[in-house]
Amino acid sequence: MIVIADNRMPVAAKKQLTELAKPLWLEPQSAVYESIAAHPDIFFCQTKTTLIAAPNIPEIWIKWLIKEQVSVGIGQNKLASAYPHTALYNAVATKYLLIHNLGITDQSILGQYLPEERIGVSQGYTRCNLLGLDENQFITSDRGIEKALLVRGKSVLFIDPKQLVLPGQQHGFFGGCCGIMQQKLVICGDFRKLKESSELEVFVNKSGYQIVTLGKGPLVDIGSLLFI
Contact between 20 and 40 under an 8 Å Cβ cutoff? The reply is: no
3-state secondary structure 109-177: HHCCCCHHHEEECCCCCHHHHEEECCCCEEEECCHHHHHHHHCCCCEEEECCHHHCECCCCCCCCCHHH
Residue-wise pLDDT tens digits, 77-107: 999 999 999 999 999 999 999 999 999 999 9
> Cβ-count burial of 207 within 10 angstroms (0-12 exposed, 13-18 middle, 19+ buried)?
middle
> Cβ-count burial of 35 within 10 angstroms (0-12 exposed, 13-18 middle, 19+ buried)?
middle
Report the pLDDT value the prediction gives residue 107, as an integer from 0 to 100: 97
User: Rounded to whole angstroms, what are the CA distances from 172 to 60, 214, 225?
Assistant: 28, 17, 14
- Rounded to 5°, angle at Cα 13 from 8 and 131: 85
Domain range for residue 110?
Answer: 2-227
CATH number at residue 202: 3.75.10
Point out the residues of the chain with pLDDT beneath 50.
Answer: none
Number of domain units in the chain: 1
What whole-number percentage of the chain has pLDDT above 70? 100
